[in-house]
Chain A
Amino acid sequence: MSAADLTLSGTVVRGGFTLDLGVTLRAGEIVAVLGPNGAGKTTLLRAIAGLTPLSSGRLTLGTRVLDDPGARIWRSARERSVGVVFQDYRLFPRMSLRDNVAFGPRAAGRSRRQARTIATTWLDRMALGDLADRRPKEISGGQAQRVALARALAGDPAVLLLDEPLAALDAASRAAIRADLRAHLADFAGPVALVTHDPLDALVLAHRVLVLDRGALVQEGPPVTIARRPATAWVAQLFGLNFYRGRVTGPGGLVSLEEGGLLHVRLHDDIHDGEVVVSLRPSAITVHVEPPTGASPRNVWPGVIRTLDLYADRVRLDVDGTPPARVDVTPAAVAELGLAAGTRVWLSAKATETDAYR
């Protein structure tokens, strides 16, 4: 199958929900689709796969129109050559793994023998050759994920869609399977869309990230940009950042925040006024038990610790203040400063660490 770009521009109405989107997935590009539950991620995949029709607009693959309700064009899922790895894998329970993978080639009219050869090749490539005669219920989640990928790829699809491919796995096997997935996706010539909840998937696997919220595209860009400068509170939380909305009120980057408080920020993109969003890494904030003296950090404000959580080698403080903030400190600092829930503290952050953008 020759590689072609996929372009979707239009709306999908499903139940009471409307997805309204204009995106292009380029051949060879891996695009992560992030967003909270109900953002429209799965609806987007279903529209591309041909499981849910567009209500308006157009879906094209290269020069081929797949769906255009205005022109009464509809290519069904079976005519689209769009491979899908479903979240729950949806392996056929009564078939061997080999027959599962051979299903696509068989449906495409290959002989039983040819289909089996193709399936065996794919299973070998996924290091599952020894398990070819097993049933789906006799293998682990990680193996099932690879079978699902092999089955989707064995049909030689033009587009590959993955719906939360790692969500069903336990944390221990996820890292290994993710690395594996990265290698297999790198070999795929067509566009790849990967729906995920896990920011790490987006960082490790994707060239570009689409952030959806309530049926609309709210941010789009390379993973590093999304991670550094999230446009919504949801994405900021996903990547562990403090996130505030505000308005530039003074020269030199003084921002008045919507939820109260003022921050001196580093202004980007020649922004001089108007609405901005501000993100601040939890580790860029310093905690003091006495009001800090000396002039170094521009931003200093009081607060009360609400909760403390230990994450590996650091402690995440949830501090109530104006504005509220998540702060990372070392366990040693917690002991040294005698921090506990209810402790009154002062927070400080350098303006250069405080990113403001639109």
Chain B
Amino acid sequence: MRQARDCRDVAGVPWQLGIPAAIGAGFLLLPLLALVVRAPWRSLPTHLGAPIVRDALRLSLVCASSAAAAAVVLGVPLAWVLSRPGWRGVGILRALVTVPLVLPPVVGGVALLKALGRNGILGHWLDAALGVTLPFTTAGVVVAETFVAMPFLVLAMEGAFRGIDPGLEEAATTLGASRWQIFTRVTLPSVVPGLIAGTVLAWARALGEFGATITFAGNSPGRTTTMPIAVYLAMESDPDAAVALALVLLAVAVGILIALRGRWLDTP
């Protein structure tokens, strides 16, 4: 008996840690629980069937997926460059690239307006030369979401690229492979788990994007009103609809976590 008690003394949780831990867990879980408990379950089908909700959901999925795709196309090569050891200026570039990660999204939206808005540095030229306008369009939503989400993918992929055994790339060179062949046939297959995880993270971040999107793309139902914006607006007019929308986003988030846990995060 005494022995068992000794074990518990070592393995147990001191109250100085246990109590804050319990409060912390409760603090994180209670709001989610409240969302589920207070959801208008009976009228849920009606809310989710409403055209404005369906439009927001469709727009969110299309834009987040496009943003994730853009992040992969641009972010994977960027991450590869950042992962190369010994290249000059890479350290500074890495620091700059991760700024959007810690930047308040609203600031990102303002910055995007100054860059790609009608009077922006590049936007001015896009408008004049190509007749392309990005702000307050669906394309603008994709741009804003990509801006915020891509750093997540870049960081995840950079880590994955660094984790590759450089010996494999050397072996490929001695077999006569070009840099591009090495990338496509040796490097990329080794980072598939990281690529999937990074893409899902970027997609989830894009799906939840609010600040940069509303600043750069505004709020135009069916064109730029994504789910988070719809939730925010509905809170004023129809709180039940807002809760219903929020519930959908919560379900997506939980689904992503389960998928990542089970499938990819644990495999090397």
Q: Which residues of A are interface residues toward B (Cβ below 8 A)?
A: 49-51, 76-84, 86, 88, 90, 92-95, 103-104, 107-108, 151-152, 155
Contacts and interface: CB of A to CB of B under 8 A. Distances in A.
Given A88-B167, A92-B168, A103-B185, A155 B173 contact: no
A155 B171 contact: no
A82 B167 contact: no
Contacts of A82: 174
A5 B264 CA distance: 50
Contact of B174 (A77, A92, A93, A94): A77
Interface string B161-197: 0000101101111111110010001100110000000
Nearest to B170: A51
By size class, the interface of chain B is 10 to 19
Contacts of B176: 78-79, 81, 104, 107-108, 155
Nearest to B174: A84
Nearest to B169: A90
14 contacts: A78-B176, A81-B176, A82-B174, A84-B171, A86-B171, A92-B172, A92-B185, A92-B189, A93-B168, A94-B189, A95-B189, A103-B177, A107-B176, A107-B181
A95 B186 CA distance: 9
Given A90-B167, A94-B190, A103-B185, A51 B177 contact: no
Contacts of A103: 172, 175, 177, 185
B195 to A, nearest CB: 13
Most buried by A among B173, B175, B185: B175
A183 to B, nearest CB: 23
Contacts of A79: 176
Contact of B178 (A86, A94, A107): A107
A51 B173 contact: yes
Interface string B1-28: 0000000000000000000000000000
Q: Which 5 pairs between the two chains have the least Cβ-Cβ distance?
A: A90-B171, A107-B177, A104-B175, A107-B176, A77-B173
Contacts of A50: 173-174
A77 B177 CA distance: 9
A151 B167 CA distance: 15
Interface in B199-237: none
A92 B177 CA distance: 13
Nearest to A154: B175
B168 A78 contact: no
Contacts of A76: 173
Contacts of A95: 189
A304 B176 CA distance: 59
Given A103-B177, A104-B175, A155-B176, A77 B190 contact: no
B167 A155 contact: no
Most buried by B among A49, A78, A83, A93: A78
B173 A151 contact: no
A49 B181 CA distance: 19
A90 B175 contact: no
Given A94-B189, A94-B190, A103-B185, A83 B167 contact: no
A64 to B, nearest CB: 15
Nearest to A79: B176
Contacts of A104: 175-176
Contacts of B186: 92
A92 B170 CA distance: 11
A107 B182 CA distance: 9
Contact of A78 (B165, B167, B173, B189): B173
A234 to B, nearest CB: 27
A78 B186 CA distance: 15
B177 A78 contact: yes
Contacts of A81: 176
Contacts of B170: 51, 77, 86, 90
Contacts of A77: 170, 173-174
B167 A107 contact: no
Nearest to A84: B174
Contacts of A94: 189-190
B137 to A, nearest CB: 41
A90 B185 contact: no
B174 to A, nearest CB: 5
B174 A83 contact: yes
Contacts of A84: 171, 174
B268 to A, nearest CB: 10
Contacts of B172: 92, 103, 107
Nearest to B185: A103
A44 B134 CA distance: 57
Contacts of B173: 50-51, 76-78
A159 to B, nearest CB: 10
